[in-house]
Structure 1
C-alpha cells in the first residue's frame, strides 16, 4: 500500500524523537464526503510481527501493513466514524488485543489547569499531574502527566511495556507538560518516566506527583488509589473545625517511625485480610529486625502516646526518601508516604486511628532541599529544572543536597500544592 505519512515522520517515531506522536500515530481522517469517510490508522509496535485493526461494533477486521520500517504499521478504513477500535498484535507465538493509546486525544489536563500551573496558583495540581486511573470515551486506563519543559522526548515505562521507551511515547503540550492515556492499565502498575535531553541522554525518573513508590532500594512509582479508604474521623474533624486551637493546651510527642520500635523479621506483619505484609529490614547490619507497619504502629504507638498524656504526635518526615539515615529529610517522593511501613491506605488508617483516640497528627514537611539521587528531582529533564543552576544558590554543600528554585512559578506550585495535599 502507498504511505499516507512522510518517511521523515516515521523515522522520528521510530527513533523516539517526536514531541507529538499523535501527529503520526493513531487514526487520521484522509477523506470525507457525503457518503462517508476514509481513515488511516498507524501504529508503531516494536516486536510485533503482524497487527490487525478490530472494529468491535461492526465486527470487522483490517490487516495492517508494515511501511518503511518493519514495525511501523498502517491500514486504511472506510467508515463514517472511527472510535475505540482495538489492535490485535502478534508477537512470536503470542497474541494480545489492546486499545490504541493514540486513539485517545483528549487530555485530562485542561487549558485552565495549565494556565494556573504556569501562574503557580494550581493548589490541587496533584489531582491532574502524576498517574490517575480514569475513563476516556468509555474505556478505563491510566492518565499520565509530567512536567519536563526542556526534554526532547518523554515516554512512560512500566511492566506493561517491558520498560521499553519506544512503546508509549508521550506528547508535549502547554507549558512543557507531557501526557498520555494508556488504556487497560489500573491500580498497582509500576512505572517511571524515560526522559531524553537534546543530546539523547536518558534519565529514568520516578513520578514527582506519584502517590506511592517501591520500597527502597527500588525506585519505581506505583499507581495508587487514594479514594478507596473509608475515613471514620468525621467527629474529630468537626470538633477541630470549631475549636480555637491557639487557646488550647498542646503537648507534642515527636517520633521517627523508623526507629521508635522494631519487630522480628522472622515474624511478618499481617494485613486485615490475613495476608502477610512484605518484610522491610530496618538495617543491613541488623537483618533480624524489621520496621513496624503503619497498622502495627497504630496499635502500639497510639496507646503509648495517649497513656503519657500527649495531645499530638509529630512525625519526622514520612514522605518517600531513599536513605534511611536521612530520617526522612532528603525526600524524593513528596506526594508519597514512605512504603517502608506500608501503603498510602495503611498510612490513612494510622491517621484515622490517631483521630479516633483524640490524638492530632503533625507531619514534618521538607520544602527546603532535595537529594541528588538519579531517580528524583535533580536534573529532572536534563536541565536544572527544580533546582537553581548556579550552585551558589542551588546546593547545600554540607548536606550534599539541592535547593529548590523558588523563583520558578511551577516549582512554587509543586511545593504549595504539596502542603495542601498533606
Structure 2
C-alpha cells in the first residue's frame, strides 16, 4: 500500500520492486558507501497489514499475529500485531533484521513505533486491551524481543545504529541490555521536537512567556542517547512544511527556520531532518509527487542551501558539538533566564574540556547592539558561525569577525563579551587561542620594554 509510505510491510526481506530488485538495492548501498554515505533502513516490526498476500492468517490460522484482538490488532491503523510471545515469530523477525545487515550491508535501523509495541494499551480505549500477568500496561514479551534483536545486531555487527522512534517516557531505551535496557543506541527526542515546533510557531512577542520550551530538554538530555528529529511526520496532514509553520513575513519565516536548525545543531543530540527541509520547500511532503526543486532558482532558497552546507560543516568540524552529546559535561548554560529578550546562551564542550564553543541565540526579530554574556576564559572569541549572515539571506548583523573579552564580571565569570545579537539569529563563537596568546605575549614584551626604559 503506497499510501502507507512503506509502513505496511508485506515483503520483509526486500525493498519494493517498484524501485528495482534486491540486487539493485545492494548496488545502491555499495555506491553510497563508496561516496561516504551511510544507509539507515526504516524497519517496521510493530505491525503488519491484513492483506491476503501478506502474513495475515498465513496458513488459515493466527500464525504471526496474536489471536486475541485486544493484543493482536491496531484498529486505528487497520493492521495486525505480531505475537511476540511465540518463539517462531520472534525468530522470524530476528532473522529478518540480521538479513538486512548481512545481505544488504546497511548501516543501521530506525525502528518504527516502538511505543506501539511495548504498551498493551497503546491507542486502545479501556475494555479493548488486556493487562500483563502483573496487571500492568507493559507488553513484556515485546520488550524482551527488542532486547533480543538489539543484542544480536550489536553482537554480529558492532558499530551499526539502532534508533528507536519511542514517543513516551519508557525508561532505559538506549541503555545496554545487560542492565535491563532495550539496547538501542539512539532514541528520537520527540519532546524536544514538540516543544520547539510549538515555540517557533508562536509570534515572537509571546515567546518570552514560553522560555521553558527552549530550556526544558536540557533537564533530561543526558538520561538517554537522544537524536533530535524533524521528520516526515511534521510536514504532512495539513501541518505545513517548516516555512509555513513560521510567523511573520517571508524574511522572518526564513530567519526563523535558520534559527530553529542552528539551535538544533548546537543543542546536544544527534540530528535528523527530512528531505525538502534543506532548501526549504513551501509545500507539504507529498508521497505521490516530487520535491519542489524549482525553488532553488530563487535567492532565498539558495541562501538556505548555503546555510545548511555551512551548519553541517560547523557541526562536523567542532568536536565540542558532538563528542559529549549524551553527557552532562558536554553542555553548560551561561544564561537561560533572559526570557524578556527570548535569548539563551550556553557552552558546548568536547572531551578535552579546554575545547569549547559558545552559542548565543536570539529568538526574536529585535536585534541587540550591546548584549553582554560571561565567558570562561579571556581572549579573542572568533565568530565562527552566524545564522543571520547575508550569504544566507540574513540582515548581515554580527561582530566583525569576533570580539575581545572585557575584564567585567558577568554570569559568574570574571570575563565577558559585549556582543551584537542579530534578529532571529544564532551566533557560535570560539576562543582563538593562537591569536590570544600572540597578543598576550606582545603585551608582555611591551610591558617589559617599558619597564626597561623606565629603569634606564
TM bin (shorter chain): 0.3 to 0.5
Report the TM-score, using the length of structure 2 for normalisation. Answer: 0.31
Report the TM-score, using the length of structure 1 for normalisation. Answer: 0.33
- Flag the structure with higher helix content: 2
Between structure 1 and structure 2, the one with the greater Rg is 2
